[in-house]
């Protein structure tokens, strides 16, 4: 049976303790995404006893801004997920106390 999922791009990031990882979503066009305006699905899993913060950079060279509402707001201490209604220029994930894992689907 063919795979009919619409998610074409998935990414798995490991964020070591005390570091940040920046993710630049690939360009969204009709060649690699059925809907270029599709939402961005994020799943985060901080390590036991650790936290993970998520920030967005809306445009290239713009300020880093913390997620202000939803499941990814603040220092997240438990595994959770959320949907972004837009694709920012970049996302920055920072792990504290333990390593964390981030899953992204476009």
Q: How far apart are CA 64 and CA 68, in angstroms?
A: 12
Q: How far apart are CA 106 and CA 42, in angstroms?
A: 9
Residue 1 lies in a domain: no
What does the pLDDT read at residue 70? Answer: 94
Residue 4 lies in a domain: no
Whole-Å CA distances, 51 to 22, 45, 94 = 17, 9, 8
Residue 68: which CATH number? 2.60.120
Where in the sequence is the domain holding 44, given as residue range(s)?
Answer: 10-105
Specify the DSSP class assigned to residue 89: S
pTM: 0.85
The pLDDT profile of the chain, 106 residues, written as one tens digit per residue, is 455 555 568 999 999 999 999 999 887 654 555 555 568 899 999 999 999 999 999 999 999 999 999 999 999 999 999 999 888 899 999 999 999 999 999 8
Residue 3 lies in a domain: no
């Amino acid at each position: 049976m063919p795979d009919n999922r619409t998610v074409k791009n998935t990414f798995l990031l490991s964020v070591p303790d005390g570091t940040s990882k920046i993710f630049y979503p690939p360009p969204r066009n009709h060649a690699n995404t059925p809907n270029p305006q599709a939402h961005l699905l994020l799943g985060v899993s901080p390590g036991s006893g650790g936290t993970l913060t998520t920030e967005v950079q809306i445009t290239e060279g713009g300020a880093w801004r913390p997620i202000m509402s939803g499941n990814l707001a603040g220092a997240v201490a438990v595994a959770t997920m959320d949907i972004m209604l837009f694709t920012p220029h970049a996302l920055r994930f920072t792990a504290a106390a333990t390593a964390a894992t981030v899953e992204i689907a476009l």
